[in-house]
Structures are given as C-alpha cells and as structure tokens.
A and B are shown apart, each in its own frame.
Chain A
Amino acid sequence: MYRTADRRAGSLWLLACRSSAAVTGAAVLAILLFLLWFSLPLLDADTLSKLLSWDWRPFHGGFGILPMVAGSLLLSLSALLLAFPVSVGICCFAHGMGPSGPAACLLRLVKFMTSVPTVVYGFVGVFVLVPLLREAFRSGSGFCWLAAAVGLAVLILPTIVLMLHSQFMLIEPQVKLTATALGMSPAQRLLHLVMPNSGRGFAAALVLGFGRALGDTMIPLMLAGNAPQVPGSLLESLRAMTAHIALVVATDSQSLAYLSLFACGLILFLSTTLVNLGLQLLKRPEEDKG
C-alpha cells in the first residue's frame, strides 16, 4: 500500500521536474521561433535592403535600422569604457588597497546597487545628470550619448565588479603565499600577480558588462534623446535598439515599422546568444584544469 503510494509520489516528482524543465526549454525556443516567424518577411531582398539603410523616417518610407544598431554599439562600448576602469579600481580597493572594514562595506554597497531599479536610475538621471550636462556644455537639451553612457556605466558597474571580485577570490589564495614570502605590498601583489593571472575574469567581466549594457532599455530610452541618427559627438542624441523597440510599439505604426522592431529583437537575441557562448568558452577550460 505504502509502496505504491510512495512510488506514485516519486514518479509525480519526476514528472513535475521533467515537465518544468521541458517548459523552460520550450519557452526559450518559443521566444526564438516567434522572433524568427515575425522576421520572416526579411527574407525578401527588397524589404531587407530597406531595413538595412541609414534612414529612419517612417512617414517618408525610410525604415532603416542601422542608426539604432550603431547607436546601441556605441553606447554599450562607451559605457563599458567608463565602467571598466572604475570597476577594476573598486575591486583592487576591496582586495588589499583599502582597509578591510571599508572594503567589505564597499562590496556590500556595490551588491546593493544591483537592487536599485533601472527606472529609478533613469529618473534621477533625467533630473540630475541631464540638467548638469545642459548647464556644463551649454549645447542641446542635455539628453545625449554622454548622459546615457554615464547612466549605463552606473548600471553595469556592479555586474563587472562582482565578476572581477569572484575572479580575484579565485586567484588570491594561489598567490598569497608567494606574495607574502617576497614581501610584496598589496599594490605590487595586485599589479604583478593577481591582475596578470585574471585575464579570463577580465574578459568575462567585459563580455557580461557589454551584454548587460546592450540589453538595457530604460536608461537609453530616458536619457539618450532617441533621435534616430548616428551621433557626431558625445553631446548629440542617439537611439538604441532597445529604446527603438519600446518607442515603435508605443506609437502604432505601419507594418514595415513593426518589422524593424522584430529585426532589432532578433539582433538583440543573437547578440545575447553570442555573449553567452563567449562566457561559456571563457569558463570551460578553467574547469578542466581544476
């Protein structure tokens, strides 16, 4: 009696686990299939050439998404350029350059930063950063590439710091004895032993940060000004792919505009996949070694 009940319970558990796993896998597949299905018209050479142009003026028949692709790339890379050195500094501070008490607090603060809603960063950016830039440079409205890059840098900073931190945690114990035996100062240890051995961690942090910056919607949408153009300078407006999707859905438009939205979605999906593959590649050989 008990036995059958137990066995039934056991198989129920397995069934629940398996079906949840199947649903999760199916969800990812469904997302890809939907994006592909709605991007199908792209296979038409004429439509494709229309979308792959530098001109976005939906009311004059211009549906080019290249400005947005360029905007996303420029924005993510510049945010990475801002956030990465600071993250390295923070990580070094936490691993010996600063006193241990404040270092622990700093790490906790950075972890806390992950919980601040993106939209709150954007909101504060609109009312603090944008007026500041407008006053400082006296050009335009302040909604520009630079504002969005700074906002995004703040957003991706914790991601990068925590990735570097976990890498440093792996390397530190390996070099600690050597460093102490050689009488190295913390700065010497970090610069000559820890950092040169953290190449993979640096690369992983860069890739992860880039993926996070590329995928964020609210900061570019709220701070970058959203003009569909390739910015000539840091003080000009740009539009990211993510912001483009949000804007086009909001303003109901013709079918080619919809198509541009799914094309952007597909590009984002594929870049996410690439980022993930990159991370896996960076992770793998290390596991083999250990």
Chain B
Amino acid sequence: MKTGYRLFSLFCWACALLPVAGVFGLVVFLLKQGWGGLGLELFFGDTPPLDAIFRFAPVWDGIWPACFGTLAVTGLAALTAIPLGLFCGIYLNEFPRGRLSGILDFCVNLLAGMPSIIMGLFGFALILFLRHTLVPDAGTGLLLSGFCMGLLVLPYMIKSTQASLGGLPEDLRLMGTGLGFSKSQTIRHILLPSAGRGIMSGVVLSIGRAAEDTAVIMLTGAVANAGLPRGLFDNYEALPFFIYTVAAEYQSPEELQHGFGAALVLLTMTMGLFLAAHGLHHAMEKRWKRG
C-alpha cells in the first residue's frame, strides 16, 4: 500500500511538471525563433511606420495590415458584445423572470459552449442568405467578422457581468432601498460602480478571446495578402489567420520568420490582456471579500 501512495505522489509530480515544461518550451521556442525578427521591419517592412499608421500607406512586407485587421475586428466585436453583454447580464441578475430567464440562461450557456467555427458558419450562411434575398452582391468582410466575433465573446461578457453583480454584498442593495432609490437608480449609481472592476475584467477577457480566435474570421472575410481594408465591407488580413497561413503554406525563410514574429506578437498581446483581466478580477474579489 505504501508503494502505491508513493507511486501516486510520483505521478502527481510528473503531471505537475508537464504543463510547466510545455509552457516554458513553447515560450522559449517562440522567443528563440522569433526574437531575431522582431523590430519595426517585422511590422512595416520598407514603409515608413508613421506613413503606414497615419496615412494608410500600403505595407507590402510586414505584419502591420494583419495587426490592423485584428484590431479592427476586435474593436467591432467589442462594440457588439460589450453593451449587449452588459445589459443582458444586468437583466439576468437583477430582473429575473422565472421561466424566461431560465431559457435565456440556457441560451447563454449554449452560446458559451458553441464551437467558434459554428459562429463562422453562421456568418457565412448569413451572407449566402443575403445574397439570395435582399442584397445580391453581399460579401464577407470586416463588419460581418466583427459581428460574428461579437456573438462569440458575448457569453463571456454576460457571465462576468452576472458574476460581478451576483458577488456583491446584499448590503449594497439594501443601501439603495434605504436611500429611496428606484431599482434602476440602485443599479446605475451603486451596483454598477461597485462591480466595475469585475465587469472590466470581463471586457478585457472578451477582447483577448476576440483577438485570438481564428475559425470565425477564416469563414467570414479574412484573406491572405489583402492589405489594409478599404471599408467595413472589405476583406482584411488578421494576425491569427496570418499565422495559420504561414504554418500551412510558407514559401520562404523570411515568411517563416514573419510567422514566428506574428505568433510572438499575438501571444504577447493575449498574455497582456489575460494578466490585466486577472488583475482586475483579483482586485474585485479582494474588495468585496467577506470577513
């Protein structure tokens, strides 16, 4: 029996070492391969950076268009998901209506578990549908991607709003009543400011998720070598999609180098967003911890 316990202990230690080795291996490998290529040339190629950023000068040999596309999609997704998710979270937590909220809750859970490719397929179907009915020349593009990505991250936003509001002490609600506030005033002036950090952590988490997802944009308008999008309905490049295409069909060592650089940039970005979300969440919990 004693050896059994010892074996179990050994097994746990081995398992604990696996993710440590994996994550360190991943980061070290990416740094080793991508570090040399980091620099302004990685982003802008031969184009002067300021021209590229402010005057939309075309960048032929850098990942700036991909970064721009990712920023644009993430921004559009945030515009869709944040207000919707915020109000929906408030609704679920503050105005529960029995059966109806139960159904909505199930919908949110379903949406949260939905594979991202389904969201992409939905966008693709939406365009097919529009082509057959109202708009014959509808095509995939930035706006569609932003919308579908917004739907993908919506449940994160709803859940974090719900959790932040639900985690507030009951006294705060009583305080609102005591001050003679109406329900909406209590929410607006007491609950939302108190839950601010938790909700912000949800926002940051959603943004991180929207920045990294590939399956959605693959089906709704990301293409290789599109350059900067000329409008909301134009195709665009995106960082995760760029990384995927490099892995699938790179043709030169320079392209591979760019791929490693892009992977490093994306990882740094999501890592930063994750740490920010984590910090905000932590601050929120600390503030309202009981006892």
| A residues whose Cβ falls under 8 Å from a Cβ of B | 6-7, 9-10, 12-14, 16-21, 23-25, 27-31, 34-35, 37-38, 85-90, 92-94, 97-98, 102, 106, 109-124, 126-128, 154, 157, 185, 187-188, 190-191, 211, 214-218, 221-222, 242, 245-246, 249-250, 261-262, 265, 268-269, 272-273, 275-276, 279-280
Q: Tell me whether B117 and A118 are in contact (CB under 8 A).
A: no
23 interchain pairs, CB-CB under 8 A: A6-B182, A13-B90, A17-B91, A21-B104, A23-B88, A27-B111, A90-B15, A90-B16, A90-B18, A93-B13, A97-B13, A106-B19, A115-B208, A117-B214, A119-B214, A119-B244, A121-B26, A123-B263, A127-B33, A214-B115, A215-B116, A249-B120, A280-B106
B109 to chain A, nearest CB (A): 5
Q: 17 other contacts beyond A24-B88, A116-B270, A191-B8, with CB at 8 A cut-off?
A: A10-B184, A14-B184, A25-B107, A31-B118, A34-B122, A34-B126, A85-B15, A88-B15, A89-B11, A90-B16, A106-B19, A115-B271, A117-B211, A117-B214, A242-B215, A265-B121, A269-B114
Contact check, B107 vs A10: say whether CB atoms are below 8 A apart.
no
- Nearest-CB residue, chain A, relative to B271: A115
B121 to A98, Cβ gap below 8 A?
A: no
- B113–A116 CB distance below 8 A: no
Task: Chain A residues near B243: list those with CB within 8 A.
Answer: 119-120, 123
Docked-complex contact B84 and A23, CB < 8 angstroms? yes
Chain B contacts to A: CB under 8 angstroms: 5, 8-9, 11-16, 18-20, 22-23, 25-26, 29-30, 33, 83-88, 90-92, 94-95, 103-104, 106-111, 113-122, 124-126, 128-129, 151, 154, 158, 182-185, 187-188, 208, 211-215, 218-219, 240, 243-244, 246-248, 259, 263, 266-267, 270-271, 273-274, 278
Taken together as a complex, chains A and B put the C-alpha atoms of A12 and B184 apart, in Å, by 9
> B211 to chain A: which residues have CB within 8 Å?
117
Cβ–Cβ contact B12 & A89, under 8 A: yes
Which of A29, A112, A117, A221 contacts B212, CB < 8 Å?
A117
Set B22, B104, B158, B183: member contacting A10, Cβ < 8 A? B183
Closest A residue by C-beta to B147: A27
Which residues of chain B are near A10, meaning CB under 8 Å?
Answer: 182-185
| A106-B138 Cα distance, complex, nearest whole Å | 49
* A124-B263 Cα distance, complex, nearest whole Å: 9
In the complex, what residues of B have CB within 8 A of residue A110's CB? 19
Task: Please report the C-alpha to C-alpha distance between residue A119 and residue B240 in the assembled complex, in whole angstroms.
Answer: 6
Contact residue among B5, B91, B208 (Cβ-Cβ distance under 8 Å from A21): B91
Q: What separation, in Å, do the CA atoms of A102 and B42 have in the docked complex?
A: 37
Question: Are B117's CB and A268's CB within 8 A?
Answer: yes
What are the residues of chain B within 8 A of A121 when measuring CB–CB? 26
Structural contact, A217 and B115, CB atoms closer than 8 A: yes
Q: Are A98 and B12 in contact (CB under 8 A)?
A: yes
B residues near A9, Cβ cutoff 8 Å:
184-185, 188
Q: Which residues of B contact A250 (CB under 8 A)?
A: 218
Whether B87 contacts A17 by the Cβ 8 Å rule is yes
Contact present for B5 and A98 (CB under 8 Å)? no
Residues of A within 8 A of B103 (CB): 25
Q: Are B110 and A27 in contact, with the CB atoms below 8 A?
A: no
B244 in contact with A109 (CB, 8 Å)? no
Beta-carbon nearest neighbor of A38 in chain B: B125
Measured in the bound complex, the distance between the Cα atoms of B182 and A119 in whole Å is 48
Name B181's closest neighbour in chain A (CB-CB): A6
Residue contact B104 to A25, C-beta cutoff 8 Å:
yes
Give the distance in Å from the alpha carbon of A92 to the alpha carbon of B14 in the complex. Answer: 11
Q: In the complex where A110-B19, A112-B274, A249-B219 touch, is A98 in contact with B13 (Cβ < 8 A)?
A: yes
When C-beta atoms are compared, the residue in chain B nearest to A28 turns out to be B107
The 8 closest A-B pairs by CB, nearest first: A89-B15, A215-B115, A115-B274, A117-B212, A20-B87, A17-B91, A10-B184, A217-B215
Provide the bound-state CA to CA distance between A167 and B115, in Å: 25
Indicate the member of A35, A93, A124, A272 with the most B CB atoms within 10 Å. A124
